[in-house]
Amino acid sequence: MNKADKVSFAIKTLAERYPTIPIPLDHKDPYTLLIAVLLSAQSTDVRVNQITPKLFAKADNPTDMVKMSVEQIREIIKPVGLSPMKSKGIYGLSHILLEKHNGKVPQSFEALEALPAVGHKTASVVMAQAFGVPAFPVDTHIHRLMYRWGLSSGKNVVQTERDAKRLFPKEKWNDLHLQIIWYGREYCPARGWDLSKDIITKTIGRKSILKKFNC
């Protein structure tokens, strides 16, 4: 099976498994999505979804957020980890949205990545999920699966994103990045991995990995 066949098999299988694709982080608009994604760094979506209702009950827009202090924000978001950095980022970006963007989340990678605590992955998620712009945010699941499937070298997430964009059709990027995340969680986790249930890796996986399972 050549690489094009592997890509086609992955796309087909993912579409069959996840014909409808839920968004992992609860939100109601671009701003609440931006905050949720920022909070998800080195945390879990489950934990973030437990905390954001408490935060958004007090401030679900930049105007209300800047009425709070950094310390007040930090106290609410402590359970998601990295709260000193994240609270400063939330407060700072909310100020900038009011000062430079009329309180709206900008619809460009450049403007998003210029905001405090917003990196390329966060910007990519917002562009894809809030505005429908083709992007391929790479998290730990996508990075792991692209390597296991032999579709990327696994050197770093920058290379993984580059490979994903090169191999997968652009019109499918926004669906695929979510489908791969859900598949990784359900069938191809970092720990407790059961290859017999992971049809994609079992079919197209890297030979060195399959060899470990005597496949």
Spans of all domains in the chain: 3-21+137-212, 30-131
Asked whether residue 112 carries a pLDDT value surpassing 80, the answer given is yes
Mean local confidence (pLDDT), 112-122: 96
Q: Where are the alpha helices (DSSP H) in the chain?
A: 3-17, 30-39, 45-58, 62-65, 70-77, 83-100, 109-113, 120-131, 140-148, 157-167, 173-187, 199-204, 207-212
For the cut 80, the answer to whether the pLDDT of residue 77 exceeds it is: yes
What is 30-131's CATH number? 1.10.340.30
Asked whether the predicted pLDDT for residue 140 surpasses 70, the reply is: yes
Res 81: pLDDT: 95
State the architecture of 3-21+137-212 in CATH terms. Orthogonal Bundle (1.10)
Asked whether the predicted pLDDT for residue 212 surpasses 90, the reply is no
Q: 160-170: buried (b, 16+ CB within 10 Å) or exposed (e) per residue?
A: bbebbeebbee
Question: Quick check: do 3-21+137-212 and 30-131 share a fold?
Answer: no
Residue 210, both tokens: 């399959």
In whole angstroms, give the CA distance from residue 52 to residue 54: 5
Positions annotated as catalytic residues are 121, 139
Average pLDDT for the chain? 96
Tally the residues of the chain. 215
Q: How far is CA 74 from CA 57, 132, 185, 186, in A?
A: 15, 31, 29, 32
Residue 215 reports pLDDT greater than 80: no
pLDDT at 134: 98
Q: Give the pLDDT confidence score for residue 161 in this predicted structure.
A: 97
pLDDT in tens, 4-55: 999 999 999 999 999 999 999 999 999 999 999 999 999 999 999 999 999 9
Neighbours of 79 (CB within 10 A): 13
Question: Per the confidence metrics, is the pTM higher than 0.85?
Answer: yes
Residue 45, pLDDT score: 95
How far, in whole angstroms, is CA 38 from its chain's centroid? 10
Of the chain, the percentage scoring pLDDT greater than 70 comes to 100
pLDDT tens figures, 165-202: 999 999 999 999 999 999 999 999 999 999 999 999 99
